[in-house]
Structure 1
Amino acid sequence: MTGPRFLMRRFREIMRSGMTPEERLEQVVRLIAGAMVAEVCSVYLMQPGGVLELYATEGLKREAIHQTRLNVGAGIVGHIAALSKPLRLRDARSHPQYEYRPETGEEAFRSMLGVPILYANKVVGVLVVQNVKERNYTDEEEEALETVAMGFAEMVGVGALVSPNVLAESVTATKRAARLTGRPLSDGFAMGTAVLHAPRIEITRTIADDIGQELEDLNAAIVDIQSQIDEMLSQPVLAAGESREVMEAFRMFAHDPGWQRRMREAVEAGLTAQAAVKRIHDQTRARFRQVPDPYIRARMADMDDLANRLINRLQGGLNALNEELPDDIVLVARDMGPAEILDFGEEKLKAVVLEEGSSGSHMAIVARAMNIPVIGNVRGATEQIDTGDPVIVDGEHAQVFIRPDQNVIDAFDEIESVRAQEKARWAALKDVPAVSRDGVAIELLANAGLLLDMRHLDQTGAAGVGLFRTELHFMVRGRLPRVREQTEYYRAVRELCNGRRLVFRTLDVGGDKLLPYMKREKEENPAMGWRAIRISLDHPGLFRMQIRALLHASAGEELDIMFPMVADIAEFKAAREVLQRELDWARRRGHPLPVHIRVGVMLEVPALVWRLPALLPLVDFVSVGSNDLMQFMYAVDRGSARVADRYDPLSSAFLSVLRRIARQCEQAEVPFSICGEMAGRPVEALALLALGFRQLSMRANAIGPIKELVLATDIAALRKEMNGWLGRDDRTLRPMLQDYAARHQIEV
């Protein structure tokens, strides 16, 4: 086989010739077939209605040209278009998508290699080679065919092979008013004007005329992008905390020598600098998609960002941001890196809608620092939303309203008015003690995991932090933070807490929370696998580093620390022994220590409920993790849409377990709290108050409504009714609690 450099050189010569488009196509397919030692090379181009038409072939029957047509998804060619990725087949006829087309004469050919032709991130055709005998196509052959497909894409884009009107019809989806749903990545509610972000990765030239000049341009662009990122790191919003750390990690991508080397090699093969960036980016993205690790896959957005920036720089800023952008931008993209969101500024950017994205992505962390609502996993967002469309983003319920009519806009305005009134009402309660109508004091605490979360304590009047998730500090970094770095971080958290109660939970990684620098094996059920305290005990060095940092950061202060996912008393004892060894180590060296240490346990595993009498004498406090306790009690995966809502936490069975925990802790005089989602939901909070819970830890924006609920509730009267309901066979007590709230004018 001839290499991609030869193919691109000959392709360039054919493109420069005076031949008609049809003659060019014939020459190119003949060139590819010969260079790749294939009996067949065919080009299928997209027509209106999602139909692929055979435009040129070397090796199939010529009468099939413009006669053979396939819908996207039909046959192997249609399958490649639907997948939008290459396909190698040793025996094409054994593939389930194989579809016999007698007019082509292709039954004589067994093996096939096909790649999509992409223009403006849309499939506009498919390029295929076939062989009579079975053949294992190599990575190099696939890469060569993809490189030539980029040349075809350029021909299509300039209208050299198909009319511009046909192209527009084939790549543009019908736009209608719609409501899309996704997953909330950053809370908030906003209305604005859509700006499509995805098209910025388009390229304008594919084939290099002067390889030396292209290399020089690429090197200069890389240096410029690195300087841009350094300048971003000086912005005030990135002064400290996790948002700065994610940008530091982003800077590491831009300085990766392997990434730069691969782009230079692609230029040397005959591509322009911008096409080389796109080529290597597509390869990297394809590899990332094969990796099951969600952290690694989340870094695709960082690579998208870098590729966009380089291509824009190489195009001379043709697609750069301009001053004509609206003042109320709702960014719509496949995904985004953390630097891209900073390009638009806090004043104009109102919300972000992503087709991909995750709550642990670097962009989401920066968005939360900027108080910008973000919804991810919105399928079809870039297809259904046009630049200039009015869009309403409801980050709380993860809804996106596209081109809403006046009725929806009026409803939005009304909701905004009600929300403003509610916020004003809750803000007025900020300094009011959370005491029920019958005089029971309730401690309302906030859950946190980032430095930027700590600002909510003053805003909401939270009594402190009932759960600080230390793992987020580990997840936003590209390497394990050292003891000194952890110490500085925990000390900053303490300072922002300003003397309020602060409970640190040790590392709860594993499951869906993975560290990029920790090797782990694939598990069938990671939520119940190697995670949390199990990882800490199996990695005592890592565990001791964290304990040591917490002790150093809490010198002269009180330290509340709890261990997650404890399933057995022996695990709690083992964890406490690690803490004791670190205390002894610090004392021997004369290090200052906390004035008082309270050690607690996260009660999330049902087995531990039945060991409470033996456990309670060993602990200083208990914190119920209702999310996992509910999941494990009902054997229901809370990440599964099919079963997540099948069982209600307000079922008699689950509430009876919570009552058992509360009663045993009361009898042993051990403080207890709950820190799952139940604590921040009004109807569930009513049930918890009736069961005896007096410490509730929740998301910060739930503290206002829950305090309002506490002030309006007679807990003794509610508890009396609850005791009667728990003896019934009802599947859920939710209707009874809602009725109680309505009868007593309690907002839920």
Structure 2
Amino acid sequence: MTTDADIARRLLARLRDVMAGTGDTQTRLDKVTHAIADSFRADVCSIYVMRAGEVLELFSTEGLKQTAVHQTRLRVGEGLVGEVAAHGRAVALADAWSHPSFAYRPETGEELFHSFVGVPVVRGSRVIGVLVVQNREERVYSDVEVETLETISMVVAELMATAEVVSRDELIPADGIGLLPLRLEGAGLAPGVGIGTVVLHQPQIRVKKLVAEDPELELERLKTALSALRTQVDAMLAADDASDTDFLDVLHAYRMFAQDNGWRNKMSDAIRTGLTAEAAVVKVHDDTRVRMQQVTDPYLRERLHDLEDLANRLLSHLVGEDGQGGARDLPDDAILICRNLGPTELLDYDRTKLRGLVMEEGSRTMHAVIVAKALGIPVVARIENIFSIVEPWDPVIIDGTHGQVFVRPSEDVRRQFTKSLKVYRRKQAEYAQLRDVPAVSLDGTEVSLMLNAGLMIDLPHLDETGASGIGLYRTELPFMARPSLPDVSSQRALYSKILDQANGRPVVFRTLDVGSDKVLPYWHGTPEDNPAMGWRSIRITLDRPAILREQLRALIQAASGRELRVMFPMVAEVDELLQSKKILKMELEEQAGAGFIPQSLKVGTMLEVPALVWQLKALLPEIDFLSVGSNDLMQFLFACDRGNPRMSERYDVLSPAALSVLKQIIDACNEAGVSCSVCGEMAGRPLEAVTLAALGVKTLSMSASGLGPVKVALRSADLGRVRDYVTQQLQTAPHSLRSRLRNYAVDMGIRLS
């Protein structure tokens, strides 16, 4: 029996022969389109090439009218082909004509063809063309077929590049300056779109004098500069809004570095060896950087950016500048470009004029990113060589939601993003109108939509979105942003603020969940080969019960006279839950003696470890609610590291295996009368949310941005009919049910976007 893999291998072999064969570029591309159409049993295969000015030209086709070759052109963003090029993602449709982006070109004769699949042809992070397959009948293309086309597009890209389909001269405008627009892929760390002009962040200060003539004078200069630096940091603390607890935690951690005696002593020792104060700062910083680059701990590595920020600021004071590297005139639409950034360096800039931040490095735990998110500034990171690609005042668009940067975008792309922003705002207005409307399906099933939160800046979203409460409060994030382990009084103050802002709505506090990729800066554990399955979460707090007791004590005190919901994470066996409940009971009895008595108490657990699925009969009588952490559950279920780029998208949460496990959990909870919720990423995506609700989940917890789209989807769905369809599909065995479920949802009028 011939498999999809066999077809793909044979096709690639044919394409290799074409690559190695003779003939001009046009002839070889024509052979490619013929081979693909033949292997895919497709009526059409076409190759579009990106020309100067972001115009896609039909360069070769099998099935469309040959007279359209080199005549049909589409702008990026125009039509389905333009959509593929604009977003750099595949598009597969059973009925292309019904799609709002479909653009009919009569000269091609494509009115005969209904189904469409297009994949980008990418080379060096740039989209250089689009590969398209079409059929007359309404055909649903499988994920395997789309993946095969994406693999083939790599061969097409190589052929186009080596044959120089687009000459180098075409990349240079007539005036000899400038470059083609670029689309760069990175990591979106803070959502949103920014349209503006490039401002380069260049804090490096050149040290001209290295050798000191008078070490004592240099020591005094260092002392004066350090004093000025500390005064400056204290002024930042005094100037910013004290209600933003997490934002201030970042600055407090930063001040801790500035006041570190070890840092000062190392610089003083360097001065005593004969260096100037400036040279001593550079030497100590360079030594520290080399050491910290060897550290595997991601949190500690991110603190390197704080140290670079401090070193540059201290050098500014030493050379007579005011230390305000970013405090300069900015355009009203500044997009800040940098290699990396310290948190106070970002604060130096006029935040009212910042429209976005792009970094060569960076991660979600980086302090500058935390600050940017607090200020509502979109962030895209890990854009390799961005500092050398752009020039000051270049026009640029950044998409922090999808991790894309468009450098020198064409007018078409700019118009497309402007249009997208308008559509986005209209959707936000629609979601705002639904704020106080319950998420009730067409057949009368109500689903409670709650927020995932972890920072104080998340809480205003409760009122903005009309969420029913906080389904997951990640207590570890404030721990991670602080320079030391918070004591009971500081934890109590934080938890009390959260309950105050919830204003009577339920808040589920997940106890400390650290380890794996969430590392505390003041807590140095032993390196592990596989930390995701190592000493983390409940395993740590049960081994260090004093930490758990202090946290539970703070929660009980904060919730005195109010409802308290506590959830224990990463439970792998019922005995771990019983140990945790025993510690909770001890604290409840002790705090009751001090007058702290919650009005009511609900205890739950996360289900993230597959072993717990086979202990539900013993587990469910011990809890009031259960929350499925789909991110970790799927990681462990498929033995697939979601932090590995090669593996993160390999398995789908909408596969029969994953949905069968979820259905087993949901059915057991409903039978036992235990509330079951899902708080992983899948809860905040409309298609997944509708599927979960159809399987019987009554509570979904998600980020604020997901609540509006999920509510719209649920209100347009008949969950009973969806449940019948999903149950039927669970008997099949494809890689994923995603395409089937999406097509079914579209046919049923369920609004997924």
Name the TM-score class by shorter chain.
0.7 to 0.9
CA distance in structure 1 between the partners assigned to 2:746 and 2:250 by the alignment: 46
2:572 is aligned with 1:564: no
- 1:414 is aligned to 419
Q: After the TM superposition, which residues 706-725 of structure 1 pair with which residues of structure 2 at under 5 Å, given as runs? A: 706-725=710-729
Shift of 1:211: 4.2
- 1:424 is aligned to 429
CA distance in structure 1 between the partners assigned to 2:471 and 2:244 by the alignment: 23
Q: After the TM superposition, which residues 135-146 of structure 1 pair with which residues of structure 2 at under 5 Å, given as runs? A: none
Q: Is the 8 A contact 2:567 2:603 kept in 1?
A: yes
Which of 530, 535, 538 aligns to 2:540? It is 535
Q: Is the 8 A contact 1:437 1:715 kept in 2?
A: yes
- 2:683 is aligned to 679
1:663-711 Cα deviation digits (max 9, x unpaired): 1111111111000000001111121121111100001111011111111
Q: After the TM superposition, which residues 593-604 of structure 1 pair with which residues of structure 2 at under 5 Å, given as runs? A: 593-604=597-608
CA distance in structure 2 between the partners assigned to 1:489 and 1:309 by the alignment: 32
Q: Which amino acid aligns with 2:714?
A: V
Aligned length: 574
Q: After the TM superposition, which residues 33-44 of structure 1 pair with which residues of structure 2 at under 5 Å, given as runs? A: none
- 1:553 is aligned to 558
For structure 1, the 5+ residue unaligned runs are: 1-173
1:391-443 Cα deviation digits (max 9, x unpaired): 21111111111222222212211211111111111111111111111111110
1:321-346 Cα deviation digits (max 9, x unpaired): 45432122212222212111111132
CA distance in structure 1 between the partners assigned to 2:736 and 2:336 by the alignment: 41
Residue 320 and residue 544 in structure 1: after superposition, are their counterparts in 2 closer, same or farther (change >3 A)?
A: closer
2:620 is aligned with 1:612: no
- 2:671 is aligned to 667
Q: Secondary structure at the match of 2:349?
A: helix
CA distance in structure 2 between the partners assigned to 1:209 and 1:412 by the alignment: 58
Which of 199, 202, 222 aligns to 2:226? It is 222
Q: Secondary structure at the match of 1:683?
A: helix
- 1:27 is aligned to none
Q: After the TM superposition, which residues 519-534 of structure 1 pair with which residues of structure 2 at under 5 Å, given as runs? A: 519-534=524-539
Q: Is the 8 A contact 1:274 1:311 kept in 2?
A: yes
Shift of 1:543: 0.8
CA distance in structure 1 between the partners assigned to 2:626 and 2:558 by the alignment: 23
Q: Is the 8 A contact 2:359 2:381 kept in 1?
A: yes
Q: Is the 8 A contact 1:200 1:312 kept in 2?
A: no
Shift of 1:744: 2.3
- 1:638 is aligned to 642
CA distance in structure 2 between the partners assigned to 1:177 and 1:311 by the alignment: 37
Q: Secondary structure at the match of 1:345?
A: coil
CA distance in structure 1 between the partners assigned to 2:229 and 2:556 by the alignment: 41
- 2:580 is aligned to 575
Shift of 1:562: 0.7
Q: Which amino acid aligns with 1:741?
A: A
- 1:471 is aligned to 476
2:322 is aligned with 1:328: no
Q: Secondary structure at the match of 1:259?
A: helix
Q: Which amino acid aligns with 2:402?
A: H
Q: After the TM superposition, which residues 478-497 of structure 1 pair with which residues of structure 2 at under 5 Å, given as runs? A: 478-497=483-502
Which of 163, 179, 185 aligns to 1:181? It is 185
Report the identity percentage.
47
Q: Is the 8 A contact 2:380 2:403 kept in 1?
A: yes
- 1:435 is aligned to 440
Q: After the TM superposition, which residues 151-162 of structure 1 pair with which residues of structure 2 at under 5 Å, given as runs? A: none
Q: Is the 8 A contact 1:194 1:385 kept in 2?
A: yes
Q: After the TM superposition, which residues 237-386 of structure 1 pair with which residues of structure 2 at under 5 Å, given as runs? A: 237-317=241-321, 320-386=325-391
Q: Secondary structure at the match of 1:303?
A: helix
Residue 321 and residue 205 in structure 1: after superposition, are their counterparts in 2 closer, same or farther (change >3 A)?
A: farther
CA distance in structure 2 between the partners assigned to 1:505 and 1:669 by the alignment: 22
Residue 474 and residue 234 in structure 1: after superposition, are their counterparts in 2 closer, same or farther (change >3 A)?
A: same
Q: Which amino acid aligns with 1:499?
A: G
Residue 635 and residue 321 in structure 1: after superposition, are their counterparts in 2 closer, same or farther (change >3 A)?
A: closer
Shift of 1:202: 3.5
CA distance in structure 2 between the partners assigned to 1:535 and 1:257 by the alignment: 31
CA distance in structure 2 between the partners assigned to 1:202 and 1:372 by the alignment: 30
- 1:109 is aligned to none
CA distance in structure 1 between the partners assigned to 2:311 and 2:392 by the alignment: 22
- 1:627 is aligned to 631
Q: Secondary structure at the match of 1:697?
A: strand
Q: After the TM superposition, which residues 101-140 of structure 1 pair with which residues of structure 2 at under 5 Å, given as runs? A: none
CA distance in structure 1 between the partners assigned to 2:410 and 2:279 by the alignment: 42
CA distance in structure 2 between the partners assigned to 1:268 and 1:579 by the alignment: 55
- 2:696 is aligned to 692
TM-score by length of 2: 0.74
Which of 416, 439, 459 aligns to 1:454? It is 459
Q: Secondary structure at the match of 1:249?
A: helix
Range with bigger deviation, 716-725 or 596-605:
716-725
Residue 363 and residue 575 in structure 1: after superposition, are their counterparts in 2 closer, same or farther (change >3 A)?
A: same
- 2:398 is aligned to 393
- 2:119 is aligned to none
1:507-557 Cα deviation digits (max 9, x unpaired): 110000011222311111100111111111000111101111110110000
Shift of 1:239: 4.2
For structure 2, the 5+ residue unaligned runs are: 1-177
Residue 204 and residue 237 in structure 1: after superposition, are their counterparts in 2 closer, same or farther (change >3 A)?
A: farther
RMSD between aligned residues:
1.7
Q: Is the 8 A contact 1:175 1:384 kept in 2?
A: no
Shift of 1:374: 1.5
Shift of 1:208: 3.8
Shift of 1:198: 3.6
Range with bigger deviation, 407-416 or 627-636:
407-416
Q: Is the 8 A contact 1:682 1:706 kept in 2?
A: yes
CA distance in structure 1 between the partners assigned to 2:553 and 2:542 by the alignment: 15
CA distance in structure 2 between the partners assigned to 1:739 and 1:282 by the alignment: 56
Shift of 1:249: 1.2
Shift of 1:210: 4.8
Shift of 1:591: 2.2
Q: Secondary structure at the match of 2:458?
A: helix
- 1:701 is aligned to 705
Q: Is the 8 A contact 2:326 2:346 kept in 1?
A: no
Residue 427 and residue 233 in structure 1: after superposition, are their counterparts in 2 closer, same or farther (change >3 A)?
A: same
Q: Is the 8 A contact 1:206 1:271 kept in 2?
A: yes
1:199-236 Cα deviation digits (max 9, x unpaired): 43433443445544433332222111111101100123
TM-score by length of 1: 0.75
Residue 364 and residue 425 in structure 1: after superposition, are their counterparts in 2 closer, same or farther (change >3 A)?
A: same
Shift of 1:265: 2.8
CA distance in structure 2 between the partners assigned to 1:540 and 1:604 by the alignment: 21
Residue 321 and residue 633 in structure 1: after superposition, are their counterparts in 2 closer, same or farther (change >3 A)?
A: closer
Q: Is the 8 A contact 2:439 2:447 kept in 1?
A: yes
